[in-house]
Amino acid sequence: MDKDRDEDRRLTEAVCRDIAGRQRYLGGPQPLAEAIAQLIASRGYARVQASAQWEEAWNDAVGPTLAKLSRPGNLRRGVLEVIVANSVAMQELEFMKKKILKELAQMTFSKKIRNLRFRIGPID
């Protein structure tokens, strides 16, 4: 008798664990705003939109001539990486660094830029 009861209890516990494990997937409907936020994050759409905003702000800060020869890259820990077409443009941007930082700070962004790092690379 005790063996049967122990076996029944183990079987019941196993079934309960299985059901509990499956219930996390049966949470019911998800709010639409949350689903859209997850989709935007997983597809990287927010990054594309932010990149376009950085591009526009960069063009305003450096002017049309240098904007053609440079483009903003990644922002990490307050340091904006800037891709520059050649060393002459890179040197000119180094000279203008304080002015550029001041102008970018005046534009309202959620992430603040503390410094600029320039590197030579291809401009699309």
Predicted TM-score (pTM) of the model is: 0.58
Q: Residue 45 has what pLDDT?
A: 55
Q: Residue 7 has what pLDDT?
A: 80
Per the rule left: phi > 0, alpha: psi between -120 and 50, beta: everything else, 107 is beta
Write the CA distances from 85 to 18, 64, 67, 69, 96, integer angstroms. Answer: 59, 14, 10, 5, 16
Q: Which residues of the chain have pLDDT under 50?
A: 48
Per the CB < 8 A criterion, the answer to whether 95 and 58 are in contact is no
Q: No. of H helices and E strands in the chain?
A: 6, 3
**Quick one: 47-120 is in which CATH superfamily?**
K homology (KH) domain (3.30.300.20)
